[in-house]
Amino acid sequence: MPSIKAAILGFGTVGEGVYRILQEKREEIKKSTGFTVEVVSILVKDKTKKRMSIQDVQITDDFRDILNNPEIDVVFEAIVGDEPAYTYLSEAIEKSCHIITANKKMFAKHGPALMKHAEFRSVQVGFEATTAGGVPIIRTVTNLLAGDRVKRIQGILNGTSNFILTKMREEGSSFSQALADAQQKGFAEADPSDDVTGMDAFRKLMILSSLAFGQQPDWEGVPVVGIDHLQTIDLIDASKENLRYRHVADIWLDERGKLQGTVGPVLIGENHPLFSIDGVDNAIIVDTEYLGSLTLVGPGAGMYPTGSAMIADLMHIIRRHEAVLIPN
């Protein structure tokens, strides 16, 4: 049976999710693709940290161990921040590895360059997990663009913010209690200020903008507001009026064909499609020229939803590249 050798960069919430799914779905993947997928190396920052038990996999804190292994076909990236992630992925592409990333901070800034580089080296880039966790928004927009034109995308793109707003409204939790809960569940970023200031949703919006419109607006021109100024009482008072705060990221082409974007909390009524989206769920409304309006809803963060988006990218790469993946 031919095998695909994979490396995972980062073994926190997301990296571990990828590993677990690959182990749990080993036989199904083999059956559906004809390939076994073997994780051969995992990159971490601190090798002494206590982790789940892993057999027959090199655990390293030196990326060169991965880069210099000629057997590796695919690199999953789930580390934190734009560097060294961007450098590592550029080097992996140079070695003709396919790359699959969950790192939106890196991808919002360097995604277009990585895509160009990958095209030049004839490898694939999977980035479904960068936006809306397990919700297949990247694949959906890619498919829509084949015969349609996107006019506007708006949605809840940060699971942590939505989880916090829901807990404050439903349970009367304080902002800090709700944030601590989101961190404990693995939803929040290593630096949770990215979640609650709106920066994480902004970066996801920029990734969607590159995909849907082939460009990003000037970052400075997009107002970004978070949820960190909202009080539990604000949410409860709104609720009494049958209104809810949602943290909404929005991008559209104006009448002059210029991209406009906003990110921030919005008070919405019960007829709005985002009214009922609670907890860690994300929801994205895509308006197109021919299809009209489409809404996708699902878990926007967490180990298994995010891991599953990365495995979906892997399946796509295998199916597209069966002919060129050289069996080891």
Ligand X SMILES: NC(=O)C1=CN([C@@H]2O[C@H](COP(=O)(O)OP(=O)(O)OC[C@H]3O[C@@H](n4cnc5c(N)ncnc54)[C@H](OP(=O)(O)O)[C@@H]3O)[C@@H](O)[C@H]2O)C=CC1
Active site residues: 204
312 lines the binding site for ligand X (CB under 6 A): no
Q: How far apart are CA 206 and CA 215, in angstroms?
A: 8
Eight-class DSSP state of 219: G
Q: Is 128 annotated as a binding residue?
A: no
Residues 79 to 108 in contact with ligand X, rule: CB under 6 A: 79-80, 84, 102-105
Q: Is 17 annotated as a binding residue?
A: no
Q: What is the contact surface with ligand LTNE7NMQ in residues (CB under 6 A)? A: 133, 158-160, 187-189, 195, 200, 300-301
The binder of 73, among ligand LTNE7NMQ, ligand X, none, by C-beta within 5 to 8 A per type, is none
Sheet containing 3-9, strands listed edge to edge, beginning at the edge strand earlier in sequence = 58-60, 36-43, 3-9, 74-77, 98-101, 125-126
304 phi, psi to nearest 5 deg: -75, -45
The binder of 284, among ligand LTNE7NMQ, ligand X, none, by C-beta within 5 to 8 A per type, is none
Q: How far apart are CA 202 and CA 194, in angstroms?
A: 9
Q: How far apart are CA 216 and CA 207, in angstroms?
A: 8
Q: Residues, the chain, total? A: 328
Q: Which is nearer to ligand LTNE7NMQ, 10 or 133 (CB)?
A: 133
The C-alpha angle with vertex 89 and arms to 207 and 97, in degrees rounded to 5, equals 110
Eight-class DSSP state of 224: B
Residues 23 to 52 in contact with ligand X, rule: CB under 6 A: 43-46, 49
Q: Name the minimum Å distance from CB 299 to ligand X.
A: 9
Q: How far apart are CA 57 and CA 171, in angstroms?
A: 43
127 lines the binding site for ligand X (CB under 6 A): no
Q: Is 264 annotated as a binding residue?
A: no
Q: Name the minimum Å distance from CB 199 to ligand X.
A: 11
Q: How far apart are CA 22 and CA 38, in angstroms?
A: 8
13 lines the binding site for ligand X (CB under 6 A): yes
Q: Name the minimum Å distance from CB 68 to ligand LTNE7NMQ.
A: 31
With contact defined as beta carbons under 8 Å apart, do 176 and 192 qualify?
Answer: no
Q: Name the minimum Å distance from CB 70 to ligand LTNE7NMQ.
A: 33
Eight-class DSSP state of 109: H
Residues that bind ligand X (CB under 6 A): 10-15, 43-46, 49, 78-80, 84, 102-105, 129, 133, 186-187, 189-190, 301-302, 306
Annotated binding residues = 10-15, 104, 189
